[in-house]
A and B are shown apart, each in its own frame.
Chain A
Amino acid sequence: MSIDAKSEGRRRLSRREFLELGAAGTSLLLLAGCGGEQGGGSGTLNALFMKQAAYSETDVKNMTEQFQKQNPGIKVNLTFVAYEALHDKIVAAAPAGTYDTILVDVIWPAEFASKKMIVDITDRFPESERSKIFAGGLKTTEYDSRYYGVPWILDTKYFFYNKKMLGEAGVNPPDTWDAAVEAARTLKSKGVVEYPLMWSWTQAEALICDYATLLGAYGGQFFDGSGKPAFNTGGGLQALEFMRMTLDEKLSNPASMESIEDEVRRIISQGEAAMALNWTYMFALANDPNESQVAGQIDIAHTPKGPAGAPGVNGSMGMAIANGSQNQDAAWKYIQFMTSQKIQNQYAKLSLPIWKSSYNQEQVVQALPEVVPVAKEQLNDMILRPVVTQYNSVSHTLQVQIQQALTGDKSPKQALDDAAKAVAETQQS
């Protein structure tokens, strides 16, 4: 039974009563919670970023220094947390209004916007600007036809392979998932590498990113037209069966089950896997002799095709103004600067710009000559994870059930049916 079913005859809790209990603590919360102020366009800003993938901490610091030089009245304090801790940090800091700008993943705007944690900036962000940005990136900060931030990191999981290893095994770079499995079998049987495939299948969002890529390739859907779970049929099921098969045949590294993207990068960089999905940032790092033992051997490609296509998962992130910010004008200036084409072109090496025209500009093409041609196509071919307000709960349910199928506790069909049932129950309550 759901909470709602029992809710008849509930008493509403008025704001007054709410305040009466422990005036001091609550009023502090309230001060911050009641929303922010525009501010005078100067002062101190607190900005929250993440530690891994895309722009490095050094990049963000350098960009911010440039911003401060241009805007002497504004000082920006930076905080970096692991992606896995980012959502909960944003939630926990919201009532206190700790941060002025926050980094928002593509899967969160529904939740954050519906709970009024981030500011609607549609009026500051005109159509003339938006039309210059990749459509997939804009989705990152859109909810209910309004905009709650500006895309900043435009990213998807590309297909990476070690061309030297493939060469040793005498196989061509695969352009379909079937060919990738064949290549993996050959690599394994010829003893080139014990586990040719590496994934980020730990219990985390990273697992859903890989699953979404495969679900898209096999023509699956997370939800059907009426909003009911549909991942347990058709392409959604085939995707999980594919994942399980690569583990059963020992083509996928069992360490995948406890790895996030950065561990995938490490394994690839140590030459212990030949093929993997990962974000743009791996290309530069896996080919950097200081970071990698296989520098120069890693190539990037469009994700392999399945029966229904070859989408990449939309893993973009945007910068948003927290609702509690007392300095929203300055925060907006900072966001405009950080997402500007000039700055993004300058730091394109680890994260490509959101601006369409950048991909034809010398500065960007030169930064990543091998990646830009691939990116131009893949960024127009992306699959979104479901846009639902209880996304975290849906994602968590899927992570657990997919892992149960991958560890062999359940059949893929059973696991996804169980997930669909649990998700449907969450939706009702």
Chain B
Amino acid sequence: MSQGRAEKLKKLPRAILPRGAFRQGPTALILLLPSLVVVFGIILYPLLRTLYTSLFDVNSVFPGNYPFVGLGNYLEALERTAFWAAILRTAYFTLSTTLLEVVLGILLGLLLNVEFRGRWLLRSIVILPWALPTVVNGAMWRWILNPEYGALNALLTQLHIIPEYRSWLGTPWMALNMVVVADVWKMTPLAAFFILAALQTIPRDLYEAAWVDGAGRLRSFFSITLPLLTPTIVIILVLRTMEAFKVFDIIYVMTRGGPADGTQTIAYYTYVEAFSNQLFGYGAALAYVIALFILFFAIIYMRLLRRGEVEY
């Protein structure tokens, strides 16, 4: 901060605040203390502590003397094929879930915006998957996909789409895609409700004007709806990307990273290294790598939010 700006700031409160405001400083500090403790205690301290741990070869849960390795844990990660394989899988999971959720979310949002009988019912039903805890969702899909008595096998064989019961979580590629399906099923409603909210802010006169000008429904959608939805879509994209990138719980419940590590995402890999193999230094470094990726998305998100205002 430049000197001049700092001084300007110093003067600013006196101009705005009533006299005596500055004497309230200590009170304000006391009032803020609890939230400061919370912020430092559960956000900043763990962040710094993880960074610190990531620089040491910590191989036990207990405090003790561990050798300093500098960036060794980070370099180790970059050298391991398992790390890159996990990153690739995470990228695939993130891209496919986010895209599917946005496309399906737009379609669903448009449907929920149309007036029809029983719309309130559909609106409440649609939100259900999102309201379900992830662990429950994962367990439910495990049952649906069960090779012996799963509902999906029953449905598909009875419709003669597949000739016999098959295994859905037994091969790496198929299992990864099934986890994508489970995640899309759960998170699409969120996207749909974002879209629905945005749709309701688009004034009707725009469509009427377009109609008068001879535009059809498709033309209206692409020339009015979609451009006006863009800021919302971008926000969904960024939010979901951040969420999907750190996916852990649904994997833990559905596949535990298997088969053959085929669903091991970067967050799950981190967990295994840290807690199952007790390589806490390495795990902390991996956690930081994830945090950096998320930070990158978060910066994009903040920038988009700032200029995301739509004017009609």
Which residue numbers of A lie inside 8 Å of B, CB to CB?
1, 3, 6-7, 10-15, 18-19, 21-22, 24-26, 29-30, 33, 84, 87-88, 91-92, 94-95, 111, 115-117, 202-204, 253-255, 257-258, 266-267, 270, 272, 390, 392-393, 396, 399-401, 403-404, 407, 409
B245 within 8 A of A: no
CB of B246 within 8 Å of the partner chain: no
Spot the interface stretch: B1-9, B21-29, B65-73, B191-199: B65-73
Query: Which residues of A sit under 8 angstroms from B48, Cβ to Cβ?
Result: 21-22
Smallest CB-CB A-B distances: 10 pairs: A203-B258, A257-B170, A403-B260, A255-B147, A11-B68, A33-B62, A88-B275, A10-B67, A258-B169, A254-B167
User: For residue A5, which residue of chain B has the nearest CB?
Assistant: B72
| Cβ contacts B150-169/A at 8 Å (1 or 0 each) | 00000000000000001101
A407 partner, pick from B52, B75, B149, B260, beta carbons under 8 A: B260
Interface hit among B53-61, B122-130, B303-311: B53-61
B20 at the interface (CB under 8 A from A): no
Q: Which residues of A contact B63 (CB under 8 A)?
A: 15, 18-19, 26, 29-30, 33, 95
- A6 touching B277 by the CB < 8 A rule? no
Q: Are B69 and A258 in contact (CB under 8 A)?
A: no
A26 to B64, alpha carbons, bound, how many Å?
11
Residues of B within 8 A of A18 (CB): 63-65
In the assembly, what is the distance between CA of A254 and CA of B164, in Å?
12
Q: A115-B62, A117-B62, A254-B147 are in contact. List 4 more A-B contacts (CB 8 A).
A: A19-B63, A94-B62, A254-B166, A407-B171
Partner of A257, one of B72, B146, B259, B261: B259
CB within 8 Å of A: which B65-88 residues: 65-70, 72-73, 75-76, 79
User: Among the listed A21, A26, A202, A203, which residue makes an inter-chain contact with B261, where contact means beta carbons less than 8 Å apart?
Assistant: A203
Which chain A positions have C-beta within 8 A of B272? 396
Closest-by-CB residue of B relative to A204 is B256
Asked if residues B148 and A94 are in contact (CB atoms below 8 Å), the reply is no
Contacting residues, chain B, for A267 (C-beta < 8 A)? 148
**B138 on the interface (CB 8 Å rule)?**
no
Chain A, residue nearest B73 (CB): A3
Cβ of B68: which chain A residues have Cβ within 8 Å of it?
A: 10-13
Q: Given A21-B52, A91-B278, A204-B256, is A7 in contact with B64 using a C-beta cutoff of 8 Å?
A: no
Chain B contact-residue range equals 35 or more
Complexed CA–CA distance, A26 and B49 (Å)? 10
- Whether, in the assembled complex, B211 has its beta carbon less than 8 Å from a beta carbon of chain A, the answer is no
The answer to whether B57 touches A25 (Cβ under 8 A) is no
A415's closest neighbor in chain B, by CB?
B260
Q: Is B120 an interface residue (CB 8 A)?
A: no
Pick from B148, B169, B261, B275: contact of A400, CB under 8 Å? B261
Contact status B275-A258, CB under 8 Å: no
Is B231 an interface residue when CB atoms closer than 8 A count as contact? no
Q: Are A14 and B65 in contact (CB under 8 A)?
A: yes
Q: Can you show 5 pairs from A to B with CB atoms below 8 A apart?
A: A7-B69, A26-B63, A91-B61, A267-B148, A396-B276
- Asked, given contacts A87-B276, A202-B259, whether A116 binds B52 with beta carbons under 8 Å apart, the answer is no
Please pick, from A11, A12, A84, A116, the residue contacting B62 in the complex, using a CB distance under 8 A: A116
Q: Does B257 reach chain A (CB closer than 8 Å)?
A: yes
Residue numbers in B under 8 Å from A26 (CB-CB): 63
Chain B 10-48 per-residue mask, 1 if CB under 8 angstroms from chain A, else 0: 000000000000000000000000000000010001001
Contact A22 B147 (CB under 8 A): no
| Interface pair A84/B276, CB less than 8 Å apart | no
Complex CA gap A7/B75 in Å reads 12
Contact (A3, B170) CB under 8 Å given A203-B259, A258-B147, A409-B260: no
> Shortest Cβ distance from B152 into chain A, in angstroms?
13
In the complex the two chains form, what is the Cα distance from A10 to B175 in whole Å?
A: 42
A254 to B150, CA, bound (A): 14
Q: How far is the CA of A33 from the CA of B256 in the complex (A)?
A: 29
**Residues in B neighbouring A91, C-beta threshold 8 A:** 61, 275-276, 278
**Does the CB pair A257–B171 fall under 8 Å?**
yes
User: Once bound together, how far apart are the Cα atoms of A25 and B48, in whole Å?
Assistant: 12
Q: B276–A95 contact, CB under 8 A? A: no
- List the B side residues contacting A399 at CB < 8 Å: 258
**Identity of the chain A residue whose Cβ is nearest the Cβ of B66 in the assembled complex:** A13
| Min CB gap B61→A, angstroms | 5
Greatest chain B CB density within 10 A among A1, A10, A202, A255 is at A255
Q: Which of B66, B67, B167, B255 interacts with A255 by CB under 8 Å?
A: B167
Q: Write out the residue numbers on chain A whose beta carbons fall within 8 Å of the beta carbon of B175.
A: 258
- Within 8 Å by CB of B49, from A6, A22, A393, lies A22
Bound-state Cα–Cα, A399 to B262, Å: 12
Closest B residue to A257 by CB, please name it. B170
Contact of A258 among B76, B167, B261, B278 (CB under 8 A): B167
For B149, give the chain A residue with the smallest CB separation: A270
Of the candidates B61, B75, B256, which one forms a contact with A117 in the assembled complex, judged by CB atoms under 8 Å apart? B61
Contact B67–A270 (Cβ < 8 Å): no
Q: Is B49 in contact with A25, judged by CB distance below 8 angstroms? A: yes
CB-defined contacts of B166 to chain A, threshold 8 Å:
254
Q: Across the interface, name the chain A residue whose C-beta is closest to B279.
A: A393
**Most chain A CB atoms below 10 A, which of B57, B69, B175, B278:** B278
A7 touches B57 (CB 8 A): yes
